[in-house]
C-alpha cells in the first residue's frame, strides 16, 4: 500500500507523550528530554548512552566518549581485553535526543535501590545517578559463546535496555536453576551470579553439534537472603560484534 507524502509524515511524526524525561517512540526508538526533570526530580542535564546509539537530536547537545581510565584502571583493562562495542558516551545539554540500536525493542526500567546485570551489548542508556561497573565473565565458555563482559547497574534512576523482540523474564528460585543460551541472555538480577555448564562433544568441533554446547546456569545460593531472582532472555541468539574503534 502506497502512502501519500502527507499521510506518511502524519503516520511517522514524533508525538510528544509528556511522560517525563524518557519516552519510547514506536518501540524501537527512545526519546530522552535532556534538560527536563529526571527520575529524581532534578533537571536531567547529562546521561550515559551506548556509543553510536544517537540517531537524531534537537537543541544544544554535546557528546563525549567515556575515557578509558574514567572508571578506574580495572575497567580500563577489562575494556582493553574485550574490545567489544559497548563503549559509553556522555550526552550533555538541553534538547530532545533520539536513541536506537539496530532496530531492537526498547524497554525502560526504573531502579529503586536494586541492582541488575545487563549484557554489555544490550545496554542503551542510563541516568548518571545509577552506579555502573563492568564485570568480566568468569570462564572461557562465556568468551566463546557470547559477550565477554556485562555491566552491573545499581542505585536509583532510569535504565533502558534493548532486545531483539519481546523479552521473557524467568523467575529463579533456590534449588530450581534456570539454564540459558549466553547469546540469548540479556540481563539478570543483582543477587544472582551465573555459572557455566559445558556440554561439549567432539561432534561440536565437526559442525554437527546442537549449537547449545555452552549454557549459563542461574541459581539462588543456599542460605541467601535476597530471595528469588530473575533472568531476562530474548528470542534471538545474538553474536557480539567487535568494535573497530
User: What is the grid cell recorded at 143?
Assistant: 568468551
φ/ψ of 84, rounded to 5, equals: -90, 165
By CB neighbour count within 10 A (0-12 exposed, 13-18 middle, 19+ buried), where does 107 fall? buried
Which pLDDT score, from 0 to 100, does residue 233 have? 96
Distance CA 167, CA 232 (A): 7
Which pLDDT score, from 0 to 100, does residue 100 have? 97
- Please, which pLDDT band fits residue 149 given cuts at 50, 70 and 90? confident
φ/ψ of 220, rounded to 5, equals: -85, 125
Helix (H, G, I), strand (E, B) or coil at 65: strand
CB 182, CB 216: distance < 8 Å? yes
Distance CA 195, CA 13 (A): 46
Which residues 6+ apart lie within 8 Å of 101 measured at CB? 50, 53, 124, 162
Whether 35 has a pLDDT exceeding 80, the answer reads yes
Q: Per-residue DSSP letters for 216-237?
A: EEE-PPTT-SS--EEEEE-SS-
Name the strands in the sheet holding 178-180, side by side, starting at the edge strand that comes first in the sequence: 178-180, 214-218, 195-198
Select the more confidently predicted residue: 239 or 216. Answer: 216
Over the stretch 42-76, which tens digit does the pLDDT of each residue have? Answer: 788 999 999 999 999 999 999 998 754 355 444 44
Place of cell 546456569: 217
Over the stretch 163-222, which tens digit does the pLDDT of each residue have? Answer: 999 999 999 999 899 999 988 999 999 999 888 877 655 455 555 444 467 788 999 987
Whether 24 has a pLDDT exceeding 80, the answer reads yes
Select the more confidently predicted residue: 17 or 61. Answer: 61
Over the stretch 91-139, which tens digit does the pLDDT of each residue have? Answer: 999 999 999 999 999 999 999 999 999 998 899 999 999 999 888 765 5
Domains of the chain, start order: 14-233 (3.60.160.10)
Q: Length of the chain in residues, anyone?
A: 245
Which pLDDT score, from 0 to 100, does residue 127 have? 95
Amino acid at each position: 500500500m502506497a502512502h501519500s507524502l502527507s499521510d506518511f509524515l502524519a503516520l511517522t511524526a514524533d508525538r510528544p507523550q509528556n511522560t517525563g524525561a524518557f519516552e519510547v517512540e514506536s518501540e524501537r526508538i527512545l526519546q530522552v528530554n535532556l534538560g527536563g526533570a529526571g527520575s529524581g526530580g532534578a533537571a536531567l542535564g547529562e546521561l550515559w548512552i551506548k556509543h553510536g546509539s544517537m540517531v537524531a537530536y534537537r537543541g544544544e547537545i554535546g557528546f563525549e566518549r567515556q575515557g578509558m581510565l574514567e572508571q578506574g584502571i580495572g575497567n580500563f583493562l577489562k575494556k582493553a581485553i574485550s574490545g567489544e562495542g559497548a563503549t559509553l558516551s556522555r550526552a550533555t545539554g538541553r534538547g530532545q535526543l533520539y536513541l536506537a540500536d539496530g532496530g531492537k525493542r526498547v524497554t525502560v526500567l526504573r531502579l529503586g535501590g536494586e541492582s541488575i546485570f545487563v549484557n554489555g551489548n544490550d545496554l542503551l542508556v542510563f541516568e548518571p545517578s545509577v552506579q555502573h561497573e563492568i564485570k568480566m565473565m568468569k570462564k572461557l565458555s562465556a568468551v566463546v559463546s557470547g559477550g565477554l563482559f556485562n555491566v552491573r547497574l545499581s542505585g536509583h534512576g532510569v535504565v533502558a535496555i534493548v532486545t531483539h523482540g519481546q523479552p521473557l523474564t524467568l523467575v529463579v528460585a533456590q534449588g530450581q536453576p534456570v539454564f540459558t543460551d549466553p547469546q540469548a541472555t540479556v540481563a539478570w538480577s543483582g543477587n544472582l551470579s551465573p555459572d557455566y555448564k559445558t556440554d561439549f562433544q567432539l561432534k561440536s568441533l565437526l559442525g554437527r553439534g546442537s549449537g547449545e554446547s555452552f549454557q549459563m546456569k542461574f541459581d539462588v545460593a543456599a542460605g541467601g537472603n535476597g530471595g528469588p531472582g530473575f533472568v531476562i532472555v530474548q528470542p534471538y541468539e545474538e553474536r557480539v560484534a567487535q568494535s573497530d574503534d
